[in-house]
Each structure stands twice: as C-alpha cells, then as structure tokens.
Amino acid sequence: MRLAKKVALITGAGSGIGRESALLFAKEGAQVVVCDVNATGGQQTVDQIQAAGGTATFVQADVSQAAEAKAMIEAAESTYGQLNVLFNNAGIFHGGDNSVLDTEEDIWELTINVNLKGVFLGCKYGIPALQRAGGGSIINTASFVAVMGAATPQIAYTASKGGVLAMTREIAVEFARQNIRANSLCPGPVQTPLLDELMSDPARKHRRMVHIPPGRLAQATEIANAALFLASDESSYVNGATFLVDGGISAAYVTPE
Ligand code: NAD
C-alpha cells in the first residue's frame, strides 16, 4: 500500500476532491483525519472510509480560524500519534466573485480568508507537526487559474490561488532540508459542487468548456490520484512544483473542434 503507516490530514474532505482523496488515501493504508467546516459531509466521508475497512476520524474546523486550524493539527497528533501528510485542500468559490470592477470587498475578504489564509494557517500549525514526525509532504490546492487569466473573471478566487502558489514555493525551499516537501496541486475544472456554482450560467459554462482540450471536466478521482502521488514517497524528489492536472488547458492555444 502506497501510504502505509502514514497519517494524512485533509481539509475540505467533506466533499469533492477532498472526499475522493480521503477515500483513496485510506484505501492505500493511511490513517486519515477528515477536516471540514461542514460536519455532515465530513462525517459521511468518515463513514464511507470505515465501511470500506479504512481508518479515519472527523474533526470539524474552519480553516480560516487560527484556533480551529491549530486544533485540527493537535487532533491528528493526539489521535494517531503523528502527522505525515498535510493536504490543505479546503476552498470556496463565491457566486458574486467576478470582475475586479464589480466584486464586493466582503467577497474578496471571505475568499482570501478561506483559500489563502486557510492554507497559511494549515502550514503554520502543520509544519511543526511534520518536523516532529521527521518530515512529510504538504499538498496545497491551488488551481490552473493561478497560472492563467480568464475573460470570465473570478478575481478574488484567482488572486487567492496565485497566493497559494507563491506561498507554497517559498515553503518548499525553506523546509527542504528538513525532509519536508511542499507542492501546489493545480486542478483544471473538476465536476464537484464548487464548480456547479460557476457553471450555473450557460453562457459562462460554454465559454469555459470550449477551452478544455479533452472536451470534458475532470472527475474528482482523477485529481485524487495526483494528490496520492504527491502524498506518497514515490514523489520524493518532487518539491516546489506547480503540479498541473488540467487536461492540457494550460498547454493549449487552439483546442480541437
Ligand atoms: P467542494 O465544494 O466540493 O468541496 C470543498 C469542501 O471544503 C466542502 O466540503 C466545504 O464544506 C469545505 N470548506 C469550505 N470552506 C471551508 C472552511 N472555511 N474550512 C474548512 N472546510 C471548508 O469543492 P472542490 O471542487 O472539491 O474543491 C476543493 C479544492 O479544489 C478547493 O481549494 C478548490 O478551490 C480547488 N479547485 C477546484 C476546482 C474545481 O473545478 N472544482 C478546480 C481547481 C481547484
């Protein structure tokens, strides 16, 4: 098993990419700490893992709150004795997030707080735990929009993901000699509840779909497979990477008809 004897904490594991990653990590032998602000979704993920014979526990935490971020790391260590994999995956997209000209300040602040400060706090409290374990792997979820601009804008979300990318690179460099790796996972559009909000407008949906070379959205399991690689020792020399799992969107100039 690819994650045997490892303890993995995943934020936003009550839905989408986080849930599929939690299920896969547990299948590969990890003891999984499922964190989410949504207790119902988080507990459902734990129930699914346990029903499949895996090991998991749920911790309710809002990643944008320092005390809760600190507590989720403490829960990982007190429950399973150590932390080896820190997957800062929780993120939001707000329906009112649009052009820089008309995005309200409160939407900007909410998005930056969850998507960027949440990753900062996860690392702030999680890295000492990885140090205590003798090293580990950090996976921070950014997005392909961290490296590309869109004329169907989502300015706060894009800025938050750009921040995750830059922050992760710096963490990767600072802690490399302590056996800690940090990589940004940059999914393309994935079929999850988060994207449903974005795709609810048919015109916006069409403008996005036309730029995806395979002509389809990713499934959350396809992103979880990439996260598994970054979590496992198979990626032992992958550090500071912008790990794009985008179906080739960022490589495309003109897509197939
Ligand atoms: P999702 O909405 O299915 O799941 C996100 C989970 O995060 C939910 O369970 C939600 O309750 C939780 N969450 C939200 N705010 C939180 C908070 N403050 N504290 C703790 N948990 C919180 O979304 P998803 O598509 O699985 O997204 C996962 C990550 O992938 C996000 O960071 C997202 O930005 C990123 N991403 C998604 C896509 C996509 O197309 N779906 C593309 C690129 C990147």
Its pTM stands at 0.98
Angle at which helix 220-231 crosses helix 16-27, to 10 degrees, equals: 50
Which of the four pLDDT bands, split at 50, 70 and 90, describes residue 207?
A: confident
Nearest-atom number in ligand 1 for the CA of 189 is 40
Query: What tens digit of pLDDT does each residue of 169-178 get?
Result: 999 999 999 9
Q: Does the Cβ of 14 fall within 6 Å of ligand 1?
A: yes
**Complete edge-to-edge strand list for the sheet that includes strand 31-36:** 55-60, 31-36, 7-11, 85-88, 136-141, 180-187, 242-245
Q: Which domains does the chain show, CATH number per domain?
A: 7-244 (3.40.50.720)
The answer to whether 152 touches 208, Cβ cutoff 8 Å, is yes
Query: What tens digit of pLDDT does each residue of 90-138 get?
Result: 999 999 999 999 999 999 999 999 999 999 999 999 999 999 999 999 9
Q: How many CA atoms lie within 13 A of 198 on its CB side?
A: 21
Q: Would the pLDDT of 201 be above 90?
A: no
Q: Does the Cβ of 192 fall within 6 Å of ligand 1?
A: yes
Q: What's the Cα-to-Cα distance from 123 to each of 35, 163, 239, rounded to whole Å?
A: 14, 14, 15
Nearest-atom number in ligand 1 for the CA of 193 is 3
Nearest CA to ligand 1 atom 24: 16
Query: What tens digit of pLDDT does each residue of 138-152 get?
Result: 999 999 999 999 888
